[in-house]
Structure 1
Amino acid sequence: MVENLDKVKDIIARTNRIPVWSLPTAFLGIIGLGYFFTFYDISDIGLAMPAIDQQFNLHGSIILFIALSVGLIGYAIGSYLIGSLADVFGRYRSMILTMALTAIGSLGDALSFNVPELTIFRFITGIGLGADLNLVSIYITEFAPAAVRGKITVLTFLIGIFGQAVTPFIGYFLVPAFPTGWRWLFGIGAIIAFIAVFLRTELPESPRWLATKGHNLEKAEKVLEMMEATAKKKIGELPEPHPENVVVEEPKFPTLYLFKKPYTGRMVLLIAVWFLWYIGNYAFLGDAASLLESIGFSEAAAILYIAIGAIIGYPAGALIMLYTSDKYERKHVIFAATVVWFLGMISMATRMTDLLYFGSFLGAMGLGMYLQVAYTFTAENYPTRARSSGFGITDGIGHGGGALGAILLPILVATYSWAFGFTFIGITGLVAGLLILIGGTKVSRRNLEDISE
């Protein structure tokens, strides 16, 4: 039984009535810095791989691809385990833990001198990254107003997406030029992560989570009063809350919520979506530079192909979603993103010089359009008591597709052809979009509790 049920409903209703972003604007930058590191790290391993391959005398060995994939395994484990802790102990503490793990892991990546060491630290980095991407998405979703939830989440993502956009250029100037360039690439990521740990201590706990736990309502009130005061400075008086419309579920172990209607069906659908999407996502980000080098491009030229597409494509995709993710139903714009991705991979499949640039651009734009809006969509589909656990299971198992894709794409290219490999990862992304379009829930401009019903 929920204790202080009327008070819990009142706090959630007061949170739902706030129509604007009600935390300090600087907090968007702090949250975005975590995203910056996440996407920086997703890109840096693929850019470092050619140099690691040479220095560790692996010569394209599958062991190197395993070193990449083991990070994704850690990602899956961390996303669920720390995500579950966040549903029990709170978003704030867990977000400090996750960024500390990523900082330690990235520093270890930079100091690794063999594949076993690199594999261990990629696993640690993966645990932190998986959980952090989960928690940042959950945190923003629980603070952002329903009418502009998509816009707010994309704003923070836009800060982070520059991590994926600028990383290829940092790699371009470091990796080919210096024997230790790949180490500096990881080291820069570690510095960013340690800064993010310090800045995150300023963030408040989610009042929505505090209220559903029921035992820390005074703290929830204090955070909420700060949010209401900030909102009133922006727009004046706030709308009346409607606690009578709030439904609060009975407390139990977070994961158990996911095995009841409608969450079980949503979870199965979203696991399939993310598994298919990540096959191509991580294959492209992790393998494209090495595969370009294997067909005759220099190390610098291979990285440059990815970098030019990224610096334009990622921000362009995010900016498109900034103006469309709330205006249109989210599952429709997610599908549109997968169409852009598919066209990008088909262009890459031609191996024609100009179309490789165009394909890299479209692939990056599709990623910039898809990722944060799909993360938000995933978070919206679960109840507050199990939102982080649900996201963790969905995204964690989904990353099995990323681990598979990172190993599979080089095999498909070697066994069949370049065109077959890149067409395949284009199709897996498009099918992910079709699944959301056909089976996804309508979420745009709806309160989280309404979507949960």
Structure 2
Amino acid sequence: MEMVLDDRSAPAAALALTAEDVLARQDRIPVWTLPRSYLAIIGVGYFFTFFDIADIGYTMPAIAAEFGLSNSETLFVALALGLIGYVIGSIVIGAIADRVGRYRTLVVTLTITALGSFLDATATGIVSLSIWRFVTGFGVGADLNLVSTYVGELAPAGQRGRISNLTFLVGILGQALTPFIALALVPNFAWGWRAMFVIGGLIASIGVIARFQLPESPRWLALHGRVEEADAVVRRMEQGARMRAIELPPPQPRAVSAELHAFPFRALLAPPYRGRLVLLAAMWFCWYIGNYGFLGDAATLVAEQGFAVGSSLLFLGIGALGYPVGALLMACIADRFERRLLIFCSTLVWLAGMLLIGAKSDETMLVAGSFLASLALGLYLQVAYTYTAELFPTRARASGFALSDGIGHAGGAVGALLLPALVGATSFFVGFLGIGLTGVLAGLIALLGPRTSGRRLEDVSH
């Protein structure tokens, strides 16, 4: 199969053999051989993402009181604008990343999130807060997209799920710690909500500085004719393997078809990617209904059931310990079973959590339900992110992830409105049962997708 490379300095045929060889050498490395610190550095972006997602839910009651916002205005600022920015940022920067590379855009995205979070803290009313929440969402959406794409392209096939989840574990601590930080600041200080955004900005700034030492994806480099640079990264990976006394088998080059386009989304319009895009968008749409409904509205709804705001934050904070537990558990099993099956099983845990919260028979049940819900989030999110990135080709992987996740985030807007409306129209139990069932539907949709665990990315993408 002929490989079409975007390079004007050398014959495409010669480069094709070299690029195929570089990718074959990378694929024979069975373990992560780059510095392990890279996983933590990448995870800082995740940390900010989940810190920010949880942060806005815990700070909005104080922001609404200070700015005199109505319930509809609160939802608009807290969720709608952030989600719009998230979707636009993911799609726009995802397409750019497929053209100019993963590394440079990873630095840009976290810079945008840092700036947005600092500006959130300076808001003086609904207009300025709305603008800055859009900017923050723009960076968050793009960064989450690129992290999953980047890690998947560097990790060995047999450990792609495990390594992705270890990176995610660093990030999910943001969602686990946020309730406790919010509990200490928001109820006790008038400026507490501003301090939360400053903390987020500082975390993102640390991540920006640290990311300058990361390498570019050798898969992206080889695909774009920069084979010598790809070879340098792979040689470094091979050297790391030899230092660990790992015997590398002979490389087995396989044909690679680039078919590069100026507009990466064009590749997604042809089969099999068109069908995969529809499937993944539907999966994420159903999942985000419950995800954003729970994260954005649960604290307020619990408070309306008679619990003090501080107490409801505490209950959800204790439950949030399930995030890292779920991520760690998934890191242990992500490559032992098919990812689509793991996604489905995670949604069953989610349903159990929603049922316990909906019952709200006592504080113990509320905490147990919150723990199961956060456990399910820790189990589901990264394995689903990994699965999404795996189903698209390198030439349009970031774009495919962006469109799937971006379209799916419309479900987040639905969930933010649906849960309070459903609780108001029916009952607390029915509301949480509803978002539990939408989660299970996401798992059922995932079962329709192709097999990916342990397979070479180029094999999956075909």
Normalised to the residue count of structure 2, the TM-score between the two structures is 0.95
**Partner of 1:375 in structure 2?**
385
Q: Deviations over 1:200-245 (max 9, x none)?
A: 011010010000111x2221111111111112112333111111x2
> Is structure 2 residue 349 aligned with structure 1 residue 343?
no
Deviation at 1:345, TM superposition (A): 0.6
SS at match of 1:122: helix
Is 1:112–2:123 an aligned residue pair? yes
The residue number in structure 1 matching 2:284 is 274
Spell out the pairing of 1:94-173 with structure 2 (5 A cutoff). 94-173=105-184
Aligned position for 1:83: 94
Q: Secondary structure at the match of 1:98?
A: helix
Q: Is the CA contact (8 Å cut-off) linking 1:246 and 1:449 kept in structure 2?
A: no
Q: How many residues were matched structurally?
A: 448
| Letter of the 2:41 counterpart | I
Q: Distance in 2 between matches of 1:281 and 1:389?
A: 23
C-alpha displacement at 1:249, in angstroms?
3.1
Counterpart residue identity of residue 317, structure 1? G
Q: Larger deviation: 107-116 or 137-146?
A: 107-116
Q: Deviation of residue 144 (structure 1)?
A: 0.4
Q: Is the 8 A contact 1:12 1:246 kept in 2?
A: no
Q: Supply the distance in 1 between the matched residues of 2:129 and 2:422 (Cα, whole angstroms).
A: 25
Paired amino acid for 2:264: P
What's 1:295 paired with? 305
Q: 2:340 aligns with which of 328, 331, 334?
A: 331
1:28 partnered with 2:39? yes
In 1, Cα distance between equivalents of 2:344 and 2:48: 26
1:265 aligns with 2:275: yes
Which amino acid is the alignment partner of residue 308 of structure 1? I
Q: Aligned partners of 1:303, 1:324: CA distance in 2, in Å?
A: 31
Residue type at the aligned position of 2:32 = W
SS of equivalent residue, structure 1 residue 223: helix
1:13–1:246 Cα contact (<8 Å) kept? no
Equivalent position of 1:286 in the other structure = 296
Q: Distance in 2 between matches of 1:120 and 1:283?
A: 22
**TM-superposed deviation, 1:22:** 2.0
Query: Equivalents in 1 of 2:102, 2:33: separation in Å?
Result: 18
Q: 1:67 is matched with which residue?
A: 77
C-alpha displacement at 1:356, in angstroms?
1.1
CA distance in 2, matches of 1:416, 1:81: 40
Q: In structure 2, what is the equivalent of residue 442 of structure 1?
A: 451
1: distance between equivalents of 2:356 and 2:245? 47
User: Does the 8 A contact of 1:137 with 1:376 survive in 2?
Assistant: yes
Structure 1 distance, partners of 2:264, 2:22, is 21
Is residue 280–residue 405 contact of structure 1 (8 Å, CA) maintained in 2?
Answer: yes
Query: 3-state DSSP class of the match of 1:360?
Result: helix
Q: 1:255 to 1:235 in 2, by over 3 A?
A: farther
Aligned to 1:180: 191
Q: Secondary structure at the match of 2:432?
A: helix
Instruction: Give 1:206's aligned amino acid.
Output: S
| Gap runs ≥5 in structure 1 | none
The 3-state SS of whatever aligns with 1:248 is coil
Identity of aligned residues (%): 52
2: distance between equivalents of 1:398 and 1:64? Answer: 22
- Give the Cα separation in 2 of the matches to 1:22 and 1:319: 20
CA distance in 2, matches of 1:47, 1:236: 48
Give, in whole Å, the separation in 1 of the partners of 2:335 and 2:185: 39
Of the candidates 437, 452, 461, which is equivalent to residue 427 of structure 1?
437
CA contact (8 A) 1:8 1:211 kept: yes
1:51 alignment counterpart: 62
The residue aligned with 1:416 is: 426
Moved more, 406-415 or 316-325: 406-415
Residue ranges of structure 2 left out of the alignment (5+ in a row): 6-11
State the AA in 2 paired with 1:391: F
- Secondary structure of 1:14's aligned partner: helix
Whichever residue aligns with residue 394 of structure 2, its letter is T
Q: Does structure 2 retain, via aligned residues, the 8 Å contact 1:49–1:290?
A: no
Report Cα offsets for 1:53-109 as digits up to 9, x if no partner: 211122x52110011221011101111100000000000111011001100111111
Q: How does 1:175-254 map to 2 (within 5 A)?
A: 175-214=186-225, 216-243=226-253, 245-252=254-261, 253-254=263-264
Cα separation, 2, equivalents of 1:275 and 1:106? 26
Whole-Å Cα distance in 2 between the matches of residues 125 and 449 of structure 1? 33
Whether 1:319 aligns to 2:337 is no
Q: CA deviation at 1:113?
A: 1.6
Matching residue's letter, 1:300: G
Amino acid at match of 2:457: L
Shift of residue 351, structure 1, vs aligned partner: 2.0
